[in-house]
Each structure stands twice: as C-alpha cells, then as structure tokens.
Structure 1
Amino acid sequence: MTEKFNSKYPDIPYLRERAKKRIPKFAFEYLDGGCNSEINLHRNTKEIRDVQLKPYYLRDYKGASLETTLFDKTYSAPFGIAPIGLQGLMWPKASEILAKAAFEHNIPFILSTVGTASIETIADITEGNAWFQLYYPVEARLRNDIIQRAADANYPVLVLLSDTPTFGYRSKEIINGLSIPPKMTVQNMIQILSRPTWAFNTLMAGQPEFKTLKPYLPKGLSLKHLGLFMNKTFNGRLTPERIKPIRDKWKGKLVIKGITNDEDVEKAIALGLDGIIVSNHGGRQLDRGESTIKPLTHIAQKYKDKITVMMDSGIRTGPDIAATMASGADFTFLGRSFMYGVAALGKQGGDHTINILKRQLGQVMEQVSCEKIKNFPDYKL
C-alpha cells in the first residue's frame, strides 16, 4: 500500500492542535479531557517519559523489525487502536475510518460497546480481525446476545471493561452537556457553526448513534429517556461470578482491561483469562490512581509467564510505545492519538497516525540497536 504521510503534521502534538481547531470545543474537550483535576491524565504520559533507554552503537546491527506476535497472530507493529466511546461525535465515521486503517496496516482495532459503528459493520471492514470490548450488561440475555453477535462475526478477542464501575466526574463534560442524552445548548450550537467542515460532514453522516446497541433500544425512545435506559441496562462493575459465564461462553481469547494490581491479576489468571490490559481509562475515571507504567512494570515482571500483559493510557507517540515495551509490555494500545489524527485529517487521519508511530518507533529501535520488539527490555536503564 502507498504510505500516506502529511509532512505538515509530523507528530501527534501537531495533529492535536489541528484537531482542536477543526472540531467543536465540546467534542475536543470530550476527547482530550480527564476526570476531576486531570492529575492522572497528565501523570500517565509524564511517567512513561521518565523511562530511559540505553543505546549500543558498536554492535553488528542487522536492522529493526516491528512485527509482533500476539495471541497466535503476527501483527505489523506492537500497537493497536484502543476502544473509544462516541467516536463519531468527534469525527463522523471515525470508527469506520480507524478500523479500515488498522486492517490495512495489520494492527488490531478494538470496538467499544458504546462506539458509533456496529459489531457487524466493523467485522466487514476488518474481515473479522477486530476485537470487541464489552461494557457489562445487567441482563444475562443481553450479555449473551451481544457476545454471540461478536462470535458470529468472527471477532477473535473479547475484551471485558473493568475500570468503569461508575462514570468519572468530568467537569468539562458537565459544562458542555455531554451527558446521555447530550444537551444541545446555545453555546454548543455556536461552536458547531464555527466548525463548518465538521458540521457538514456530520450532517452527511447523520447523527452519531450507539449502533451496536440499536437493536436493543425500545422503539420510539426519545433522547430524554435514553439516559435512563443506559443506566438501567448497563452496570460496569465486574466480579468473578460475572466473568465465569462469559469465559464458559466465549471460545476465543478473553482479555480484561483496567487491571492495575496483583490481586486482580491473580483473579484473572485463576478465571482462565488469556490477557490483561493495564489501564486507568486514560485518566478519565480515578484522578488519584497510579499512572499505568508503574503497575505495568511490576505486573509484567511478576506475571508475564502466566498471562499476556498489555497496556494503554498515556501512550501518545512512538517513543512512548518503546518505553512501554521496554518496561515489559507484550503489546500497547493508543486511543487519543488516533482520534487526534482523524479529527485533524479526516479519512487520511488513521493511515497518517499509524505511519507516524511506525516511523518514530523504528527510529528508536535503529538508534539503540534493538532488532526485535521482544528485546526492548534489554535496552531499559
């Protein structure tokens, strides 16, 4: 495939700035913000960047390979696209754009239960190579039906979301009316009119919807009652008793996302899960929690021979991926970086962001003389 790279925006911060100018303020703040005082949002990235690597310049170096094997599949790079809710709010058809880019670049895309594309649509785009993240339903019937749809669409990996037992307190979203249902205030309308490209594309694509959940919404449900339905239908708190029937039903790989301590890792192992994603929901849930890189380093060292250990939250760039892999991760996922790319560049944003990350990561490997991704821990100071 032709490499799509826009030299005007050679790094993620440039995409972020363009995205900020291109989409309404309420959409950008939903994407960019964290909970409470946003302490953990910033701590995540800062502490990843405290990791240092040591270069070797006099070795017989044969070149770098970004290929990474995960769950018996070889991907072209050690990173994928993390699940994000309401992607279509930030840029129309963002889920589809990113899924297509992920498929063409041979990296995993994770669809959220509250994403704006359906299980079936993303399966078609990725030819059954996407992952699905389950936001836990209260009713077993609904849980089983969603899981069966993912299985019928040949999703190889099911991801259980564990770090949202309650919604984070996000002041910017309260001010902007980004609740469920969203409130369209006069201020929001003014913001939309100031972003005509976003407004036109949204008009053409149609109002963002929770497409996976659409079959379960009562007919004629008004926006006023959508929030009540969502609160009644979903409960994000997982327990071993809730996970066991999912493990019995799901025949593919089963991963839990949001794990940050030994007790939860050991329960995941005992339940027969295949992997964990060390995550704090991008700093959007618990402002006084640890950064992700600290528990990742400990968990990888202690449990990597028993379960696959991955990480998201705070990773923005290729060097951040390198630092995370050097700290023991088997794989990484990024969310905001990809959404900045799509919000900035539309249909080209997914390809461009992937190419930035590949170039940056490859340069780090060349610089330190690391030939294979799995060897990164040997280069950590």
Structure 2
Amino acid sequence: MEEKYNSNFPDIPYLRDQAKKRIPKFAFEYLDGGCNAEINLRRNTDEIREVQLKPYYLRDYQGISMKTTLFGKEYAAPFGIAPIGLQGLMWPKASEILAKAAFEHNIPYILSTVATASIETIGEITEGSAWFQLYHPKEPELRDKLIQRVTDAKYPVLVILSDVPTFGYRSREIINGLSIPPRMTARNILQIMTRPRWAIETLIAGQPEFKTLKPYMPKGLNLKHLGLFMNNTFSGRLNLERIKPIRDKWKGKLVLKGVVSEEDTQKAIELGLDGIIVSNHGGRQLDAGESTIKPLANIAEKYKNQIKIMMDSGIRTGPDIASSLASGAEFTFLGRSFMYGVAALGKEGGNHTISILKRQLRQVMEQLCCENVANLSNHLIDLKNKA
C-alpha cells in the first residue's frame, strides 16, 4: 500500500488540533471527552507513557518487521481501528473512510453496532475482513439476526462488549444535547454554522443514521424516540448466560472487549472465547477505575498462553503502541486517533493516520534495535524492581 502522508500534520496532536477547527464543538467533545471529571481519560494515556524501554545498540541487527499474525491472519502492523459509535456525526462517511483505509493497509477495522454504516456495506468495502462489535440486544431474536448478518457478510471475528452495563455520566454530552435521548439545540445549530465544510459534507452525505439497526427501527422516529428505542432495545450488561448462546451460535473467533480484571479473563477462557481486549471504553465509563496498562501487565503475565490478549483505551501514537506491546499486549486498537485524522483530513484522514502510526512505531523499533513486535517485551524496563 502506497502511504499518503501529509507533512503539514506530522503527528496525532496536530490532527487533533485541526479536527477541533473543522467540526462543530458538540461533535468534537463527543469524540474527545470522557466521563465525570475525565480523570481516567487522562490516566489511560499518562500511565502508558510511564513505560520505559531499553535499547540494545550493539546487537547484530537485521532490520524490523511490524507484521503480526492474529487468529491465523497476518496483518501488516500490530494495531487496528477500534469501534466507535456515531462516527458519521464527527465526519460524514467516517466509517466507510476508515474501513477502506484499514483494508488497503491490511489492518483490522472493528465496526460498532451503533456506527453509521451497515454490516453489509463495511463487509463489501473490506471484502469480509472487518470485525464486528456486538452491543448486546435485550431480545435473543435481534441478537441472532445481527449475528446471522455478520456471518453472511463473512466477518471473521465477533467482539462482544462488556464494559457498558450503564451509560457513562458525561457532562459535556449532556450540555451539548448528546445524552440519551439526544436533542438538537440552538447552541448546536450555531456551532454548525461556524463549520461550513462539515455542514456541506453532512448535507451531501445525509443525516447520520444507525445503518445496521435501521431495519429494526419504527419509521419516522424523531430524536427523542430514537433515544428511547435504543434504551428499550439494548442492554450492555453481560453475564455468563448471555455469552454462552453467542459462543454456541458464532462459529468464528469470539472476543470479549472491556476486560480489566483477572477474574473476567479467567471466565472468558472457561467460556471458550478466543481473545480479550483489555479496555475501559476509552475512559468514558468509570472515572475511578484503573488505566488499561496496569491490569494488562497482570493479565498478560498470568494468561498470555491461554487466550489472545489485546488492548485499547489511551493509545494515541506509535510509541504508545510499542509501550503497550512491550507491557504484554499481543495487538492494539486505537479509536480517537483515527477519528481525529478523518475529522481533520476527510477522505485522506484514515490513510494518513495509519501512515503516521507506522512511521512512529518503525522509528521506535529501529531505535531499540528490536526486529519484530513480539520481541518488544524484551526491551521493557521493570520499574517496580529497578528501585
């Protein structure tokens, strides 16, 4: 894949700044914010950056490879695009843009149940290589219909979400009218008027919709009734009895996302799941919780050879990816970084963001003299024992 790199935006903070200038405030704050005082939002990234890595300069070094095999498929890099709901709110056709970029670069893209593109559309764009994150329906009938659509679209991996038993308390979303049920205010309309490019692109693309869920929604829902539909249709609270029928029905790889404890990891193994994603929903659910990097290290030490261990939340850059892999993750996912890229650069944003992350990760590995991503753990400095 030929990388399309824009030197005017050489890293993720530049993309974030540009995204903030290009999209309405309510959309940016939905993307950028966390819950309550946003303590865990900051803790996630801050504690990843406390990780220290050791270079070995005098080794017989043969060059690096970022290729990573996961669930029998070789990917070009050890990172993918995490699921994000309402992607089309932040930039029109964002789901399609990111899925296409992921496919072209041979990295995984995870489609959320509440994204703004359908299972079938993303399946076509990625030629059946995307993953799907299932937000658990209350009724088994809808659950089975969604799983069948994912099967028919030939998705290889189903991700079930465990870390949203209740909606996070997000003050900025409440002020901006993006709570459940959502509302559009005069304040939001004024913000749209100051972002004409976003407004024009949204007008062309059409109002964002939950495309995967559209067949199950009554026609003509206004925003208030849409919120009520979501509340009445889905329950994010998982338990063993809800997971068992999914494992029985789904024949592909099954991953549990939102794991932050050894206890839940053990249960995932007992249920026959293939992988976990250590995640706290990007700091959007529990402010008083741990950062993801802390439980990752303990989980990896105890369970690494029993289940595939991946991680998201707080990872923003190539160095963050390296630190997460060195700490025990076998693969990583990023969400906000990719959305900053698309909001900043539109159709080129996905490609450019992947190019940034590849370049940054390559530089770190070359500096460490680390030839492949599986060896990054050998460069981890154990700060607990160092003192």
TM-score (norm 2): 0.98
Distance (Å, rounded) in 2 between the aligned partners of 1:49 and 1:222: 44
Tell me whether 1:295 sits opposite 2:299 in the alignment.
Answer: no
Answer yes or no: is 1:108 the counterpart of 2:108: yes
Question: How many angstroms apart in 2 are the aligned matches of 1:223 and 1:354?
Answer: 34
1:167 CA displacement: 0.3
> Partner of 2:377 in structure 1?
377
- Report the equivalent of 2:28: 28
Deviation at 1:229, TM superposition (A): 1.1
Q: Following the alignment from structure 1 to structure 2, what is the Cα–Cα distance between the partners of residues 289 and 223?
A: 32
- Cross-structure match for 1:141: 141
CA deviation digits over 1:299-352, x for unaligned, max 9? 011101100000000000000000000001010000000000000000000000
Cα distance in 2 for partners of 1:192, 1:221 equals 22
Q: Does 1:183 align with 2:176?
A: no
Q: What is residue 367 of structure 1 aligned with on the other side?
A: 367
Contact kept in structure 1, 2:183 and 2:224, CA below 8 Å: no
* Alignment partners' CA distance in 2, 1:44 and 1:329: 15
C-alpha distance in 1 between matches for 2:308 and 2:224: 42
Q: SS at 2:277's partner residue?
A: strand
- 1:321 aligned to 2:310? no
Give how far 1:3 is off: 1.5
- Cα distance in 2 between the residues matched to 1:257 and 1:280: 9
**CA-CA distance at 1:218 after TM superposition:** 1.3
Distance 1:350 1:255 in 2: 24
**Correspondence list, 1:62-77, <5 A:** 62-77=62-77
Q: Does structure 1 residue 254 correspond to structure 2 residue 234?
A: no
| Partner in structure 2 of residue 357 of structure 1 | 357
Partner of 2:340: 340
SS class of match (1:212): coil
Amino acid corresponding to residue 195 of structure 2 in structure 1:
R
> Once superposed, which parts of structure 1, at least 4 consecutive aligned residues long, lie more than 2 Å away?
179-182, 219-224
State how far apart, in whole Å, the 2-side matches of 1:349 and 1:34 are.
23
Question: What letter is aligned with 1:187?
Answer: R
Question: What is the CA distance between 1:2 and its match in structure 2?
Answer: 2.5
Secondary structure, aligned partner of 2:213: helix
Deviations 1:114-162 (A, max 9, x none): 0000000000000000000000000000000000000000000000000
Whole-Å separation in 1 of the counterparts to 2:73 and 2:264: 26
C-alpha separation in 2, matches of 1:3 and 1:90: 24
In the alignment, which residue of structure 1 is the partner of 2:158?
Answer: 158
The residue that corresponds to 2:229 in the other structure is 229
Deviation at 1:228, TM superposition (A): 1.3
Q: Please state how far the C-alpha of 1:219 moved relative to its aligned partner.
A: 2.4
Give the match for residue 55 of structure 1.
55
Give 1:116's aligned amino acid: T
Aligned-partner SS, 1:92 = coil
What is the CA distance between 1:287 and its match in structure 2? 0.2
Offset at residue 286 of structure 1 (A): 0.1
Query: How far, CA to CA, are the matches of 1:122 and 1:380 in structure 2?
Result: 37
Q: 5+ residue gaps in structure 2?
A: 382-387
How far the C-alpha of 1:226 sits from its partner, in A, is 1.2
Matching of residues 181-220 of structure 1 within 5 Å: 181-220=181-220
Residue correspondences, number:
381
Q: What residue identity is the alignment partner of 1:91?
A: W
The answer on 1:279 being equivalent to 2:279 is yes
Q: What is the CA-CA distance between 1:222 and the residue it aligns to?
A: 2.8
CA deviations over 1:236-275 (Å, ceiling 9, x no partner): 0000000000000000000000001111011100000000
Q: Which residue of 2 aligns with 1:11?
A: 11
Runs of 5+ in structure 1 lacking a partner?
Answer: none
Distance 1:181 1:146 in 2: 23
What residue in structure 2 maps to residue 310 of structure 1? 310
Give the corresponding residue for 1:97: 97
Amino acid at match of 2:132: F
TM-align CA RMSD: 0.6
Distance in 1, Cα, partners of 2:142 & 2:244: 16
Shift of 1:361: 0.2
CA distance in structure 1 between the aligned counterparts of 2:174 and 2:218, rounded to whole angstroms: 26
**What secondary structure, in the 3-state scheme, does the structure 1 residue paired with 2:258 have?**
strand
Q: Distance in 1 between matches of 2:52 and 2:221?
A: 53
Deviation at 1:181, TM superposition (A): 4.2
Which amino acid is 2:177 matched to?
A: G
Amino acid at match of 1:52: Q
Q: Say if 2:135 is the partner of 1:125.
A: no
Residues 150-200 of structure 1 deviation map (CA, whole Å, 9 limit, x = unaligned): 000000000000000000000000000002443111110110000000000
Contact 2:183-2:223 at 8 Å conserved across structures? no
Which digits, 9 at most, give the CA deviation of each residue in 1:53-72, with x for residues without a partner?
A: 00011111000000000000
Code of the residue aligned with 1:191 in structure 2: it is Q
CA–CA distance in structure 1, aligned partners of residues 35 and 271 of structure 2: 31
Task: Give the distance between the partners of 1:223 and 1:31, measured in 2 at CA.
Answer: 19
The structural deviation recorded for 1:80 is 0.1
